[in-house]
């Protein structure tokens, strides 16, 4: 694998940093099945660019987490043209990363990346739980004739029979998806966006304690007022203060094995949205390693 120099990679870390990396950032701007707004192929480079403005000191954790983690960023590379081949390509990259004992953090691209990204984890662990943030359930069997559509991302993940999913912020789904959810409640838990004010986070223990967990974060899970830079923005979503306690709690009680952030479609001259995603990425890995045994 070829890497960017530290000062050009995620967070723009000083090249003098010599700690062995625990996190490998994978820029994977796959954009093959978008059905409304486009531009997700530009997400990874804009997240990395914005990350150079993220303050490395975390006032909550009272440290500079990157110094204890070590982060390397893969050089941008060509993504396979066919979606199945692209997902196989990402799966192989993550398989190599985890076989080396590292933590992959994938920047999409559209949400269709996630089934490829989780494949090596589903192979490695007897059980895997997905912590899923999204406006949409993504439980369609196919969309516009494509079974690997971004609208089918979580359904394709559930093709792995040892995987369960806990979704936060869902507020837009089809009857087909609702029927599938109703028939598979033993494998799917949804914290609906409409119930945000009464979410009981003590229930997280039931789903995540001592589990191996992969985080997938579709940025349209955020409310459209703070995240319009996405292909399918939705009102009624989560704010920063809603999201962080969930991620922190899950990191405290489980083993986070990898993550992806997807569906950022950058808007020219509106860098605050890119910055929001970059800071979210830093918080995810900071929490993930802060609470590892």
* Sequential pLDDT tens for the chain (293 residues): 899 999 999 999 976 667 889 999 999 999 875 555 568 899 999 999 999 999 999 999 999 999 999 999 999 999 999 999 999 999 999 999 999 999 999 999 999 999 999 999 999 999 999 999 999 999 999 887 778 888 899 999 999 999 999 999 999 999 999 999 999 999 999 999 999 999 999 999 999 999 999 999 999 999 999 999 998 899 999 999 999 999 999 999 999 999 999 999 999 999 999 999 999 999 999 999 999 86
Give me the pLDDT at residue 34, please.
56
Phi, psi dihedral angles at 263 (to 5 degrees): 70, 20
Domains and CATH numbers, the chain: 10-290 (3.40.800.10)
Give me the pLDDT at residue 169, please.
98
* Angle subtended by helix axes 43-51 and 271-290, to nearest 10: 70
Give me the pLDDT at residue 33, please.
58
For residue 179, the tally of other CB atoms under 10 A from its CB is 11
CA distance 54 to 56: 6
109 touches 41 (CB < 8 A): yes
Give me the pLDDT at residue 245, please.
97
Report yes or no on whether pTM surpasses 0.85: yes
126 touches 161 (CB < 8 A): no
For residue 146, the tally of other CB atoms under 10 A from its CB is 16
- Provide the terminal-to-terminal Cα distance of the chain, rounded to the nearest Å: 29
CA distance 64 to 269: 29
According to DSSP, the residues that pair with 260 across neighbouring strands are 106, 216
Which residue, 264, 259, 275, is CA-closest to 213?
259
Alpha helices of the chain — where are they, by DSSP H?
43-51, 66-69, 83-99, 114-124, 153-157, 175-182, 204-208, 240-253, 271-290
**Please, which residues have CB within 8 angstroms of residue 236's CB and are 6 or more apart in sequence?**
171, 193, 194, 223
Element holding 131 (H helix, E strand): strand 128-133
Give me the pLDDT at residue 37, please.
52
CA distance 281 to 273: 13
Which residue, 172, 160, 146, is CA-closest to 32?
146
CA distance 243 to 196: 11
- Helix, strand, or coil here: 151? helix
């Amino acid at each position: 694998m070829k890497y960017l120099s530290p000062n050009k990679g995620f967070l723009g870390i000083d090249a003098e940093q010599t700690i062995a990396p625990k996190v490998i950032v994978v820029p994977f701007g796959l954009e093959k099945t978008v059905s409304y707004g486009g531009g997700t192929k530009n997400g990874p480079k804009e997240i990395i660019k914005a990350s150079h403005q993220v303050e490395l000191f975390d006032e909550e954790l009272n440290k500079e987490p990157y110094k204890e983690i070590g982060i390397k960023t893969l050089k941008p590379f060509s993504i396979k043209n066919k979606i199945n081949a692209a997902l196989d390509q990402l799966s192989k990259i993550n398989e190599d990363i985890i076989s080396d004992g590292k933590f992959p953090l994938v920047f999409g691209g559209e949400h269709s990346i996630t089934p490829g990204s989780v494949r090596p984890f589903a192979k490695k662990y007897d059980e895997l739980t997905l912590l899923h943030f999204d406006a949409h359930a993504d439980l369609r069997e196919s969309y516009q004739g494509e079974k690997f559509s971004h609208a089918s991302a979580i359904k394709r993940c559930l093709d792995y029979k040892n995987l369960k999913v806990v979704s936060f912020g869902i507020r837009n789904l089809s009857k087909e998806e609702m029927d599938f959810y109703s028939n598979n409640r033993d494998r799917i838990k949804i914290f609906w966006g409409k119930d945000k004010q009464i979410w009981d986070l003590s229930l997280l223990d039931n789903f995540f304690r001592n589990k191996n967990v992969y985080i997938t974060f579709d940025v349209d899970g955020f409310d459209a007022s703070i995240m319009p830079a996405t292909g399918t923005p939705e009102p009624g979503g989560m704010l920063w203060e809603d999201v962080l306690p969930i991620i922190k709690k899950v990191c405290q009680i489980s083993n986070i094995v990898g993550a992806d952030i997807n569906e950022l479609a950058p808007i020219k001259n509106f860098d605050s949205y890119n910055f929001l995603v970059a800071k979210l990425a830093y918080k995810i890995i900071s929490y993930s390693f802060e609470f590892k045994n």
